[in-house]
Structure 1
Amino acid sequence: MHAAFRFQTNRGHPFDDVSEANGISTGKGAQMSGWRDSAACLGYDPEIFFPSPNNTTAVRQARAICGVCPVIEQCGRFADEHQRIDGYPLQGVWGGRLRTGKRQL
């Protein structure tokens, strides 16, 4: 792990707020559990993965964590298949890509 990213917390998974276990509907029977238990982002502050699209340094930090993730493909596929979560556009860094709810960067 890169030294700049050694500020993990015990907060849980960054995307806990979008899991069905927390009562938020992702539609289409979305399943996030399983693969996300192996995600490199597990334990990081969730704010890292929801940077302002204009903050290129913050976007690079999130992507760097994704870059060493063993489940980056599953995360990206989940984001590709679920453009909306609880009625809101999917946003943040998922599968190593910044998603703004309007277009993928």
Structure 2
Amino acid sequence: MDLKCVVAIVRPDVLEVLERRLGAIHVHGMTVTRVRGFGAHPNVFADDWTTEHIKIEVFTLAENVDALVTTIMEIAHVGAVRDGVVAVLPVERFFRIRNQVETTP
């Protein structure tokens, strides 16, 4: 089993639409965290350079990554500097705490 972790940092206003669309492509689990930060283009004229975003993390099979990334990109893209980022990370080991079983990717 080849597992990946898709991490997206996007504007908070896309979360509701993203949740519905991910359900439609059969992604039924994700972690959402409120985050603050700045990227390559901070607002240097503001007192605080950081902006609020959300970080979404989804563990998925490698074969589902392209559909997941495409969906996130379509929903989060408005053409603004602060649209966000998406990264795909390999998962070396994956454990289910509930039944204490390691799933080998």
Q: Which has the higher strand share?
A: 2
Structure index of larger Rg? 2
TM-score by length of 2: 0.32
More relative contact order in 1 or in 2 (CA 8 Å, sep 6+)? 2
